């Protein structure tokens, strides 16, 4: 299919107004839009690719805005030009790349903590449990981020490599804890890879 025959992408626009003096509602809307992966075109105008899950999320958010005394309209559109579409995709990718950078930084802090525990020879279940809890948070964050990486941002590959490295370090630490506690095997299967 040549470039001229390609269908333009479809988009959802949420145009909203929050009741004056409602900073908590404004923050809530911003957080919800960020979790969905929206990009702002301007203040109070957010755009997302037209996908069923995005439509559902925006419908629910619009309902909440209206219940709180605000206004919300959900509009459908298509890319007006190939240039506009490319710029919009680039904005989405840039937003995801910034989040991938945050993941990389968080994994690096996680690795620093594991190395610190290892240097201090703190091979105890309490430290392992804390590290596993931190890893679970990172994993959930990663899953949510991948869901909103609509166009395959470049930063994903580096973040995946960093996550794999962090997981390998956690697995190594897990095995060290089990050895230090006098256990040859990890009965929960946590440290096997």
Under 8 Å CB-to-CB from 143, ≥6 apart: which residues?
Answer: none
Judged by phi (left if over 0) then psi (alpha if -120 to 50, else beta), residue 121 lies in: left
pTM for the full predicted model: 0.85
The predicted-structure confidence for 93-117, as pLDDT tens digits, reads as follows 999 999 999 999 999 999 999 999 9
Tell me how far apart the alpha carbons of residues 1 and 165 are, in angstroms, rounded to a whole number: 40
Which residue has 């007006």 as its token pair? 80
The predicted-structure confidence for 33-72, as pLDDT tens digits, reads as follows 999 999 999 999 999 999 999 999 999 999 999 999 999 9
Question: Rounded to 5 degrees, what angle do the CA atoms 184, 185, 187 make?
Answer: 145
């Amino acid at each position: 299919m040549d470039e001229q025959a390609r269908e333009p992408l479809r988009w959802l626009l949420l145009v909203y107004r929050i009741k004056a003096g409602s900073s908590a509602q404004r923050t809530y809307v911003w957080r919800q839009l960020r979790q969905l992966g929206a990009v702002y075109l301007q203040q109070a105008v957010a755009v997302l690719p037209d996908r069923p899950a995005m439509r559902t999320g925006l419908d629910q958010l619009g309902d909440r805005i209206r219940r709180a005394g605000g206004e919300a309209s959900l509009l459908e559109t298509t890319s007006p030009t190939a240039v506009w579409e490319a710029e919009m995709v680039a904005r989405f990718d840039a937003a995801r790349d910034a989040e991938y950078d945050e993941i990389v930084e968080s994994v690096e802090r996680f690795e620093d903590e594991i190395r610190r525990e290892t240097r201090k020879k703190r091979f105890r279940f309490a430290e392992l449990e804390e590290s596993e809890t931190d890893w679970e948070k990172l994993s959930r964050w990663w899953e949510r981020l991948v869901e909103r990486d609509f166009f395959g941002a470049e930063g994903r590959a580096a973040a995946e490599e960093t996550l794999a490295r962090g997981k390998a370090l956690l697995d190594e630490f897990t095995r060290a804890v089990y050895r230090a506690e006098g256990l040859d095997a990890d009965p929960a299967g946590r440290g096997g890879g």
